Amino acid sequence: MMAVSKKQARALVIFSGGIVLVFGGGQVFHHVFASNRQEPVAAGAAAGPAAPAPEPATLHPVHYRLPSGAPRVSTGTTDPGGQPVAVACSTCHTTTKPNFQTHSGAQLVQFHQGLNYVHGNLTCLSCHNDQDYNSLHLANHQRVEFTDVMQLCAQCHGHQWESYQHGAHGGMNGHWDLTRGARTRNICTNCHDPHAPKFPLVQPIFPPRDRISVPLPGHQLQETTSLKPATSTSPPHHGTP
Amino acid sequence: MSSNGPTGKEGNGGTDGGGGGCGKSDCGCVSRRTVMKGVGATLGTAAFARAIAPLTEWAANISADEFLQRHYKELSLVDLNIVLRRLEKETKDDYGAEVTISDPKPQEGVKFGYALNLSVCNGCRKCAEACHIENNHDRPSHQSYIRVFEMQKGTMDMEQGNVNYDKPVPQPDKFYMPVQCQQCEHPPCVDVCPVEATWKEPDGIVVVDYNWCIGCRYCEAACPYHARRFNWTKPEIPKEEINPDQGYLSNRIRPQGTMEKCTFCLHRTRNGRLPACLEACPTGARVFGNLLDPKSEIRWVLEHKRVFILKEDLGLKPQFFYFFDS
């Protein structure tokens, strides 16, 4: 009963041969496809940097919009070529005696008369360096260059300075992701006039003219309050007759 | 006659009723049945022609390719490229502008967050203007994804805010709150879309496939931040003002009759750049970054400032935050 006929044995051999063929063929097929797929990846890896690189990426720099140096003051005159003449602070201030009481441009008779000064109770020489007018000084009389003015501001405005250091104060441009590009940041004096740091009033730009804000020409603005049921004027309908 | 049965009925159709026709089967007169058939066929044809009339009108402004275009998520890279090139060509034909439409993908390990400092925002609307320009908004309607609310100090109800202020800002008794898409974790606008034309991407940005949107405006109604806009007309933009750096899911010029919304400028931010509204802000009120990076600026703000979420009680978990200096 358990014996297998010749015919059955032959069928078994053919069947198993077929299975081997199918699996083997599949492998060859898979191999061909896999090599096809891998080719462009290999080419890309050869051309550019290796893709799986867990090493820390090099960061692009953060630029600060620093002043070029000490400011120059306009003399109100022009040279023979018609160009306005500007001079360094030290041109005049090396020979004039410093006045520690001055706290407004209106107190002066030469230069800086029109200076709008609204910055606490500071005097000019609270920040400007009486030893060298081409620089500034900190509260401890340590000299600070004009390009490092943020150190000076930070002495009093610590909260803003802390936020600034963490990117939470001050405008910027460029990339949020420094691994992909650089960033340019404003410094204090790009936005705040150091002599009058409070932001001035500005005229806002036009609002969008959509149905919620300003109606388009020829359309009435829908009053949202008019949609509410008028509780005070209309009597309730469900009351007793 | 009545005994003839069915054969008699067939042979002498019309004579029993005594209505139309002359009674002779071969006289050539029009029977009532034929008239009714003719009327029916004419009415049917007319109704069919009327029904397909929109198709013939519509063929003028929608190409067969656009009509047959599949959902964004079902497009293969090859198909997507064909679509992008077609859209570039359509922009060239419609607006005369050479533009590049790309489709930057979400970055691994990035989830965008945005915070806005209400202590320093002065309500100048420069952000709204930058959005208007960057995102190729319709010029006549001054459209923008940002709406700045002028709010009474001491209040927090956005619905009471005034968006039409035109006096110099900031007014002493007011504060200013710009509102745009908050990129909710549970966006109600996505839930209500009947055709799945809008969805939330892995980096948190809620996007719209403008070619799949049917313009039903359910999402506009569902959004508690009034952040979605509808293109009532075909956007009008002078050729030279069109921003040529465009994204399929963001600032390409939207077709008429579709919804649009803030995408955190994904054509910029997915390439590492800052959003246009942030760069335009003259007060530095805006902070943008990766919520998943513990060293990012946005994380520092969330951990160190007094942060609040607009309409937090709705439980939508926005990725947009407001904060105060303290």
Chain B residue with Cα closest to A186: B284
Indicate the pairing of strand A172-174 with strand B259-260: unpaired
Among A25-34, B80-89, B148-157, B166-175, the minimum mean pLDDT is found in: A25-34
Mean pLDDT across A157-184: 94
Interchain pair A204, B166: CB under 8 A: yes
From the CA of A101, how many Å to the nearest CA of chain B? 32
Mean pLDDT across A37-44: 37
Query: Is A50 within a domain?
Result: no
The Cα A135–Cα B183 span in angstroms is 48
The Cα B144–Cα B228 span in angstroms is 10
The Cα B278–Cα B289 span in angstroms is 11
Query: Which domain covers residue A102, as residue numbers?
Result: 63-191
From the CA of A160, how many Å to the nearest CA of chain B? 9
Among A51-65, A165-179, A212-226, the minimum mean pLDDT is found in: A212-226
How many residues in total does chain B contain? 326
Confidence of residue B323 (pLDDT cuts 50, 70, 90): very high
Beta bridge partners of B146: none
User: Does position A122 have pLDDT exceeding 50, yes or no?
Assistant: yes
Q: Which residues of A touch B (CB under 8 A)?
A: 159-160, 163, 166-177, 179-181, 183, 186, 191, 199, 201-210, 212-214, 216, 224
Contacts of B147 in chain A (CB under 8 A): 207-208, 212-213
From the CA of A41, how many Å to the nearest CA of chain B? 16
From the CA of B123, how many Å to the nearest CA of chain A? 7
Could you say which DSSP state residue A163 is in?
Answer: H
Chain B residue with Cα closest to A184: B279
Over chain B, what is the mean pLDDT?
89
User: Residues of chain A with pLDDT > 90: what percent?
Assistant: 37
What pLDDT is stored for residue B48 in this prediction?
A: 92
> What residues of chain B, 232 to 271, have a C-beta less than 8 Å from chain A?
269, 271
Does the structural domain B112-324 have CATH classification 3.30.70.20?
yes
Number of H helices, E strands in chain A: 6, 7
Contacts of A209 in chain B (CB under 8 A): 140-143
**Highest mean predicted confidence (pLDDT) among A49-53, A140-144, A226-230, B58-62:** A140-144
What pLDDT is stored for residue B59 in this prediction?
A: 56
What pLDDT is stored for residue A15 in this prediction?
A: 55
Chain B residue with Cα closest to A187: B284
Among A15-19, A99-103, B183-187, the minimum mean pLDDT is found in: A15-19
Beta bridge partners of B275: none
* Residue A125, helix vs strand vs coil: helix
From the CA of A35, how many Å to the nearest CA of chain B? 21
Interchain pair B305, A168: CB under 8 A: yes
**Highest mean predicted confidence (pLDDT) among A19-28, A207-216, B14-23, B293-302:** B293-302
What pLDDT is stored for residue A47 in this prediction?
A: 41
Among the partner-chain residues B123, B278, B283, the one whose CB lies closest to the CB of A204 is: B123
Interchain pair A210, B274: CB under 8 A: no
Residue B139, chain A, CB below 8 Å: the answer is: no
Measuring CA to CA, which residue among B154, B146, B145 is closest to residue B175?
Answer: B154
Interchain pair B128, A174: CB under 8 A: no
Q: Which residue has the higher pLDDT, B104 or A109?
A: B104
* Residue B152, helix vs strand vs coil: strand
Chain A residue with Cα closest to B268: A175
Confidence of residue A234 (pLDDT cuts 50, 70, 90): very low
User: Residues of chain B with pLDDT > 90: what percent?
Assistant: 77
Contacts of A176 in chain B (CB under 8 A): 269, 272-274, 288-290, 297
Domain boundaries of chain B, sorted by first residue = 30-60, 112-324
User: Does position B20 have pLDDT exceeding 70, yes or no?
Assistant: no
Contacts of B168 in chain A (CB under 8 A): 201-204
pLDDT digits (tens, 9 = 90+) for B222-236: 999 999 999 988 999
User: Does position B76 have pLDDT exceeding 70, yes or no?
Assistant: yes
Confidence of residue A56 (pLDDT cuts 50, 70, 90): low
How many domains, chain A?
A: 1
Query: Residue with structure tokens 């990076």?
Result: B293
Query: Is A107 within a domain?
Result: yes
CA distances (Å), origin A163, targets A160, A195, B170, B273: 5, 22, 22, 21
* Alpha helices for B12-157 (secondary structure H): 32-58, 64-68, 77-95, 126-134
Query: Is A166 within a domain?
Result: yes
pLDDT digits (tens, 9 = 90+) for B244-281: 999 999 999 999 999 999 999 999 999 999 999 999 99
Contacts of A53 in chain B (CB under 8 A): none
pTM: 0.74
Interchain pair A205, B117: CB under 8 A: no
Chain B residue with Cα closest to A182: B273
User: Does position A10 have pLDDT exceeding 90, yes or no?
Assistant: no
pLDDT digits (tens, 9 = 90+) for B37-53: 999 999 999 999 888 87
Q: The tokens of B116 are what? A: 């806005």
Mean pLDDT across A207-230: 53
Interchain pair A207, B279: CB under 8 A: no
Over chain A, what is the mean pLDDT?
74
**Interface predicted TM-score (ipTM) of this complex, two decimals:** 0.77
pLDDT digits (tens, 9 = 90+) for B128-154: 999 999 999 999 888 999 999 999 999
